Amino acid sequence: MPALPDGADGRLALALVGTIAHDGEGGVADHFAEDHQVDAWLAEHFPGLAPRRHDEAERLRALRFAARSAFAAAVAPHPASRVERQRRMSDREAGELLTAALAALDAKPAFTIGEHGVRWESATAATGQTLVEGTLALAVTDFLTGPLAPRLRSCQAPRCVRYFVQDHGRQQWCKASCGNRARAARFAERHR
């Protein structure tokens, strides 16, 4: 049975929630808007997977909604991204959706001893949609309950809708260009 990846580094979870991004004009771009976009994203993260049916793509959109809602809950008391401040799944519904995806994996624990030392892994016989949903839910779970979670923030720069992991405690913006935009907006505000 293949071992499931450890999602504690946040890469897969952040990639999933990052499929909602700002469009550069004050709006929001949904990189899962069309089914073929969902397939393009999956091809990067799950090579060899056949294209999703429409209902399967819809399930992945729902899982992403649950994931972003969980991110919004995880950053509290810091503010959520403006996307989740406008609309967010209830904590209970998001928890249930992620739990169902994890449960469907039916993962078996494996204690392994090897050249990298002692590890705890879980393995699954799941394939296709069940494997994709479960792996994504596990990535969100590993990350939001892992060592990087206390440094998770949402970027509050104008237009930005990203979540990011702080490099240092005072980092407010996901990247330098967001900081520049935020400072320019404050300057304009003061001089109005």
With respect to Zn ion, which residue has the nearer C-beta, 81 or 124? 81
- Least Å distance between CB 41 and Zn ion? 20
Structure-token pair, residue 122: 């879980």
With respect to Zn ion, which residue has the nearer C-beta, 97 or 157? 157
Quick check: helix, strand or coil at residue 43? Answer: helix
| Binding status of residue 14 toward Zn ion by CB under 5 A | no
Residues numbered 150-189 forming contacts with Zn ion, rule: CB under 5 A: 155, 157, 160, 162, 174, 178
Strand pairing category for 28-30 and 20-22: antiparallel
Q: Which residues contact 8 (CB under 8 A, 6 or more apart)?
A: 142, 143, 146, 147, 148
With respect to Zn ion, which residue has the nearer C-beta, 64 or 162? 162
- Least Å distance between CB 191 and Zn ion? 23
Segment lying near Zn ion (by CB under 5 A), choices 36-44, 87-95, 131-139, 149-157: 149-157
- C-alpha dihedral (57, 149, 143, 40), degrees to nearest 10: 40
With respect to Zn ion, which residue has the nearer C-beta, 55 or 167? 167
- Least Å distance between CB 156 and Zn ion? 8
- Least Å distance between CB 15 and Zn ion? 16
- Least Å distance between CB 96 and Zn ion? 30
Report angle CA 113, 114, 119 to the nearest 5 degrees. 50
* Distance of alpha carbon 92 from the chain centroid: 18
Q: If binding means CB under 5 A, how many residues of this protein chain bind Zn ion?
A: 6
With respect to Zn ion, which residue has the nearer C-beta, 136 or 157? 157
* Distance of alpha carbon 192 from the chain centroid: 38
Quick check: helix, strand or coil at residue 62? Answer: helix
Positions in the binding site for Zn ion (CB under 5 A)? 155, 157, 160, 162, 174, 178
